[in-house]
Amino acid sequence: MAHVWGNILILVFAHFVGSQGNQCGEPTKYPDRRLDEKYHHISDFNHDDNVEYNCAPGYRRTGGSRISFCKEGRWTPSDLTCEMVKCPDIKIINSKQFSKIVRYNTTVDITCEQGFILRGAQHLRCELNGSWTPDVPTCEPVRCSAPLMVNGKIQSGVKQHYKPLENLTVSCTEGYDLIGLSLVTCGSDGQWQRLPECRPEVRCSAPLMVNGKIQSGVKLHYKPLENVTVSCTEGYDLIGSSLVTCGPQGQWERLPECRFKVSLTGNCGPAPRYPHAHLRDEYSPTQREHTAEARLRYKCTIGHRLAGAVYCPPPPLVRNADMFDRTYEQVPFGYMVSYRCRTGSLIGAKRIHCTKNGTWSAPPPECRGKQ
């Protein structure tokens, strides 16, 4: 009986050893292939079990079977063939060369030679389908297109394209000031260097100095950054700097003031002067001194009233008549306009003028008669 048990034990042992010898361990690894995900967590494989491979990222299947079998404790070799994905060489005229590794997922930076500018993407990647994305760019010669001058124009050398270092001159249309230099140069990046701007003209009108005057450079208008020197009439002290500059907004910066010279006696100097006004007849403009508490009275010169200058509205238009004179939004005192009938004859005043009270001297004429 013990003999029988011994035989059974031997059989069991033999079977155990036999199946152990038929099992496979971890499937073979290949650099260009990957075991399918579903086999990753299995550690023991039996005789006739199989696993599947796929090409590794960056490789493309060209043939063979994906399957490998466990046969008597060994994995049959996989005959799956995978080819490395390669992108074609990039050849761009007038660009710098780069390293020639062109496998899948390689990125390259394109740089053009000096004087050439990249048209397209700078960074390219070799994709799984073996092509570069985005598309391969080109290197084009650098050119500046004719600059667009808002409220200005190209003064000389009008062309469609300019090479780097080529110059042109620009100017502004009337009523606009050029801010910057008129000579501009096409840059090596295809952009105009320091393109100036045309800004609406800004002017300072002659500074109004009460009890003073412009010492040098009397003009009607001054451009920003222009200077004038001012001074005070006798008997007045200049408070501030005599050099004043026209500011960027058309306002004088820090215009000084002329203040009465205070005399040691406590008296005031001569009567101050104001534009478009004079002392009333009972006061003397030549009196050199005025006692403390003295009062002076002024009146406006003809054509001016206390609030400022006198203006008339634009002259009335007359049917079938021409007017010879320029008209303004505000017509100054004394301005005269004349009418002439295109058809018919003129009834009324041929000429009217702007009166000191801001009205026209007469109603407008009429043109009557044959049409």
Ligand X SMILES: *[C@@H]1O[C@H](CO)[C@@H](O)[C@H](O)[C@H]1NC(C)=O
Element (H, E) at 187: none
* Sign of torsion over alpha carbons 354, 359, 361, 366: positive
Q: Is 138 in the site for ligand X (CB under 6 A)?
A: no
Instruction: Please state, in angstroms and rounded to a whole number, the distance separating the CA atoms of residues 314 and 316.
Output: 6
Q: What is the DSSP string of 323-361?
A: E-S---SSEETT-EEEEEESSSEEES-SEEEB-TTSSBS
What is the total count of residues that contact ligand X (CB under 6 A)? 19
Which residue in the set 7, 99, 265, 357 belongs to the binding site for ligand X (CB under 6 A)?
357
Q: Which two tokens stand for residue 59?
A: 């490789």
Nearer to ligand X, 153 or 254 (CB): 254
Q: Are strands 252-253 and 308-309 parallel, antiparallel or unpaired?
A: unpaired
Collect all residues with Cβ–Cβ distance below 8 Å to 356 and sequence separation of at least 6.
302, 303, 310, 333
Nearer to ligand X, 173 or 241 (CB): 241
Q: Is 242 in the site for ligand X (CB under 6 A)?
A: no
Which residue in the set 131, 155, 188, 193 belongs to the binding site for ligand X (CB under 6 A)?
131
Instruction: Please state, in angstroms and rounded to a whole number, the distance separating the CA atoms of residues 26 and 21.
Output: 14
Nearer to ligand X, 150 or 181 (CB): 181
Q: Is 191 in the site for ligand X (CB under 6 A)?
A: no
For ligand X, the binding residues in 51-110 under the rule CB under 6 A are 57, 105, 107
Which residue in the set 32, 49, 140, 166 belongs to the binding site for ligand X (CB under 6 A)?
166
Q: Let me know: does 271 contact 283? Beta carbons within 8 Å.
A: yes
Phi-psi region of 324 (alpha: psi -120 to 50; beta: other; left: phi over 0): alpha
Q: Is 11 in a helix, a strand, or coil? A: helix
Nearer to ligand X, 238 or 296 (CB): 238
**Which range of residues in 87-95, 258-266, 274-282, 357-365 is near ligand X by CB under 6 A?**
357-365
Q: Is 226 in the site for ligand X (CB under 6 A)?
A: yes
Q: Are strands 167-172 and 152-156 parallel, antiparallel or unpaired?
A: antiparallel
Q: Which residue has the tokens 């060209």?
A: 62
Q: Is 225 in the site for ligand X (CB under 6 A)?
A: yes
Nearer to ligand X, 138 or 355 (CB): 355
Taking the complex as a whole, how short is the minimal distance between the CB of residue 216 and ligand X, in angstroms?
12
Q: Which residues are 34's β-sheet partners?
A: 54
Which residue in the set 42, 150, 165, 262 belongs to the binding site for ligand X (CB under 6 A)?
165
Nearer to ligand X, 279 or 312 (CB): 312
Nearer to ligand X, 64 or 363 (CB): 363
Which residue in the set 65, 114, 122, 129 belongs to the binding site for ligand X (CB under 6 A)?
129
Q: Let me know: does 153 contact 173? Beta carbons within 8 Å.
A: yes
Taking the complex as a whole, how short is the minimal distance between the CB of residue 254 and ligand X, in angstroms?
11
Instruction: Please state, in angstroms and rounded to a whole number, the distance separating the CA atoms of residues 74 and 51.
Output: 12
Nearer to ligand X, 226 or 237 (CB): 226
**Which range of residues in 15-23, 37-45, 126-134, 251-259 is near ligand X by CB under 6 A?**
126-134
Which residue in the set 245, 263, 320, 338 belongs to the binding site for ligand X (CB under 6 A)?
245
Q: Which residues are 60's β-sheet partners?
A: 83
Nearer to ligand X, 22 or 131 (CB): 131
Residues that bind ligand X (CB under 6 A): 57, 105, 107, 127, 129, 131, 133, 165-167, 185, 225-227, 245, 355, 357, 359, 361
